[in-house]
Structure 1
């Protein structure tokens, strides 16, 4: 009988013991390893973005600068910030904080989890107009990068519930992946009401956070694929000295070669695979798209509020949409300009004045790699702002005057840019 019981429960018991030993053993990844950090900086891996251990270690030094963004960061070319920084020995490496599908809400969760590592630092933030759709970030995108560790870290460090906390709690409960945790759901409900979470839920969540942090230490590099090989390959295509005229000519040549003369100036592979087979479906398909009214404006305010709390000095880049593509699909250039005016008002009215707005550059040859992502001349233009901004990485003390009451409101989300005084 004992042998039968052991045969049934023995493997389960053994697995539990091994799991306990694993989580409480001193073993962990060596997050101090320079090679590991360098690989992680360009990986844009989900485990890295959802965790804290590697990013905090990287930003604890002056060697890395956080670049917040989304899918444009994943497209390595000779003029990508990671390539230019390495080729011309700028003394820093971009740590790519984003991936296809990350938007303001995810960016904020990553920011707040970094804590003091973001304090008094410079950063670059690429704002994609495409984030600002009617309902904000889609469930699939949010779920892909949702981090229970970062969420609990925020909740368990709350000392006083502020307007931004109440707004965040409400936004998080819009997503089922968050609500399925009963303890977390109760804690968020309390914060929505302006109260600190119940002590019993806090005690339980501390245990869970410890486990999640341990999991991050053990497994954050699993499946991580660095883009360093692509970076090194593109470094070799650049001239020895940084001369803008020479680089501009190279950008034109590479852009012409890559697009092969198609009517939209889009990279050939993307055009052949994603555009040409469906051309008849795209004509006037975006004439009703509108980026002027969205909860994303308030999600973006969370990120701005965090940057202000940490006294971070940030350069914001607003890319255009491919002009020929916009004309074909009916996407309104007037609407895009009004979106730009609205987001710039949100920035400048609160003291965020470092802005590189390229909304009107959609028709510049080879500015875009495809329909919405910066290309050869686009990244080169951005570098004319990035390079001097990061030459001295000590932030200028900005006088931020935050207006969370307004910019976290539904009223602001639905404000017509033409009505802004």
Structure 2
């Protein structure tokens, strides 16, 4: 009888034990390699963004530079940073850390998850004005990119609770996906009160972290859907020798050819699929848009705080909005200028001096690929700042962070109340 039971349940028992050993064992055999890193660097796959094993190893190798952003990173043409770096042997390869829907809270989680690998290194960070809407990051975007692994490791790594940590806890607790996880909710509630996670909640988080980490190590390299082939093809269309004026002519030519079916200088395919059928409805549709009051300003402060803590050397790029599209939809230029003033103040007041603000470049033909994403001439102009920043040594910055930028007062502050920088003593 015992033998029969063993024959039935023995294999199941052995399988459970094997899985437990696989996921709970502290030992890890590295399976990542240069090929995986290269594929992952342009994939913008959710499993790479939410995981640690691939992106951390690649950035730690020193061969890749992190480019943080959102959907603009996914639009590949000959002037995309990855194509230019490939064509002209820049000595660095962009690792694209963003996708449609990623915003400051996601970027903060990624940055803190690889703070050892990023310490003292240069990064490029693209700030999208449209992140800064009234309610901040939408639930759908949060759900798509929220990483339990990165969040648990952050909570377990705390040795004391700072105002920044309490703000993270408060923000995470506001999302329904987190509210479904009682153990993590308990830990976040403790952090929000200024206490370190303790008791059963901490023990459970530690166990789940080990399982998630092993899952990341084993499976994150699958389904990367690399854009490397597209990048290689785009790079091959560039002249062999870098000449800015020749490249600007080529960017204009490509822009003209790619936006021939509309008067807004929007990429033909984007216009045909996303705009044309809704054109009448979209007229005047953005008159009430406001990027001046948003919890995103506090979320962005998390990014700044983490970059300063690890003494990273960031270059920030602020894209404009297609001027023709602004006029058609009624998006306020005054509001966009106010956003520019407010975000520049938050950056420069705290010692982040490397800021490229293209807000006033909205009228340049083919600067944008569509309504809000950098295009042919926009990427080329960005490269005039990116290339020297990444290829020349940057001095260590002196940052002076202020917790006031987490406050509701700052999130809602009207830019006209900011001091005039020309009168600063």
Normalising by structure 1, we get a TM-score of: 0.96
Superposed structure 1 runs of 4+ greater than 3 Å apart = 1-15, 24-29
Q: Distance in 1 between matches of 2:327 and 2:263?
A: 12
Equivalent residue runs for 1:227-246 within 5 Å: 227-246=227-246
**Corresponding residue for residue 90 of structure 1:** 90
**Corresponding residue for residue 75 of structure 1:** 75
**Corresponding residue for residue 214 of structure 1:** 214
* Offset of residue 213 of structure 1: 0.8
Q: Distance in 1 between matches of 2:168 and 2:184?
A: 13
* Offset of residue 201 of structure 1: 2.2
* Offset of residue 199 of structure 1: 3.4
Asked if 2 retains the 8 angstrom alpha-carbon contact of 1:259 and 1:266, the reply is: yes
**Corresponding residue for residue 397 of structure 1:** 396
Q: Distance in 2 between matches of 1:160 and 1:23?
A: 29
Asked if 1 retains the 8 angstrom alpha-carbon contact of 2:313 and 2:394, the reply is: yes
* Offset of residue 115 of structure 1: 2.2
**Corresponding residue for residue 105 of structure 2:** 105
Distance change (3 Å), C-alpha of 1:268 and 1:28: farther
- CA displacement 1:80-118 (0-9 Å, x = unmatched): 001101110010001111111000000000000102111
Secondary structure at the residue paired with 1:351?
coil
1:418 aligns with 2:397: no
Q: Distance in 2 between matches of 1:281 and 1:16?
A: 57
Equivalent residue runs for 1:92-171 within 5 Å: 92-171=92-171
Asked if 2 retains the 8 angstrom alpha-carbon contact of 1:312 and 1:395, the reply is: no
Q: Distance in 2 between matches of 1:4 and 1:132?
A: 64
- CA displacement 1:60-92 (0-9 Å, x = unmatched): 122111110000001111000011011100100
Q: Distance in 2 between matches of 1:140 and 1:11?
A: 41
Q: Distance in 2 between matches of 1:110 and 1:171?
A: 16
Q: Distance in 1 between matches of 2:6 and 2:368?
A: 64
- CA displacement 1:265-324 (0-9 Å, x = unmatched): 011111111111111100100000010100000000000000000011111000000110
Asked if 2 retains the 8 angstrom alpha-carbon contact of 1:43 and 1:224, the reply is: yes
Secondary structure at the residue paired with 1:314?
strand
Equivalent residue runs for 1:256-271 within 5 Å: 256-260=256-260, 262-271=262-271
Asked if 1 retains the 8 angstrom alpha-carbon contact of 2:39 and 2:227, the reply is: yes
Distance change (3 Å), C-alpha of 1:20 and 1:260: same
Secondary structure at the residue paired with 1:396?
coil
* Offset of residue 9 of structure 1: 5.9
- CA displacement 1:369-391 (0-9 Å, x = unmatched): 01100000000010011011111
- C-alpha RMSD of matched pairs (Å): 1.7
Equivalent residue runs for 1:348-367 within 5 Å: 348-367=348-367
Q: Distance in 2 between matches of 1:4 and 1:74?
A: 57
* Offset of residue 223 of structure 1: 1.5
Distance change (3 Å), C-alpha of 1:2 and 1:286: farther
User: What is the count of residue pairs matched by the alignment?
Assistant: 418
Q: Distance in 2 between matches of 1:263 and 1:11?
A: 67
* Offset of residue 194 of structure 1: 0.5
Distance change (3 Å), C-alpha of 1:356 and 1:6: same
Distance change (3 Å), C-alpha of 1:8 and 1:128: farther
Q: Distance in 2 between matches of 1:36 and 1:334?
A: 45
Asked if 2 retains the 8 angstrom alpha-carbon contact of 1:121 and 1:395, the reply is: no
Q: Distance in 2 between matches of 1:130 and 1:14?
A: 52
Asked if 1 retains the 8 angstrom alpha-carbon contact of 2:23 and 2:210, the reply is: no
* Offset of residue 156 of structure 1: 0.7
Alignment gaps of 5+ in structure 1: none
1:65 aligns with 2:59: no
- CA displacement 1:117-147 (0-9 Å, x = unmatched): 1110000000000000000000000010110
Distance change (3 Å), C-alpha of 1:28 and 1:144: farther
* Offset of residue 4 of structure 1: 9.5
Secondary structure at the residue paired with 2:114?
helix
* Offset of residue 56 of structure 1: 1.2
Normalising by structure 2, we get a TM-score of: 0.95
Equivalent residue runs for 1:328-347 within 5 Å: 328-347=328-347
Q: Distance in 2 between matches of 1:2 and 1:290?
A: 72
- CA displacement 1:364-411 (0-9 Å, x = unmatched): 10000011000000000100110111112x43111100002x100000
Of 22-31 and 368-377, the range deviating more from structure 2: 22-31
Alignment gaps of 5+ in structure 2: 420-425
Of 395-404 and 103-112, the range deviating more from structure 2: 395-404
**Corresponding residue for residue 253 of structure 1:** 253
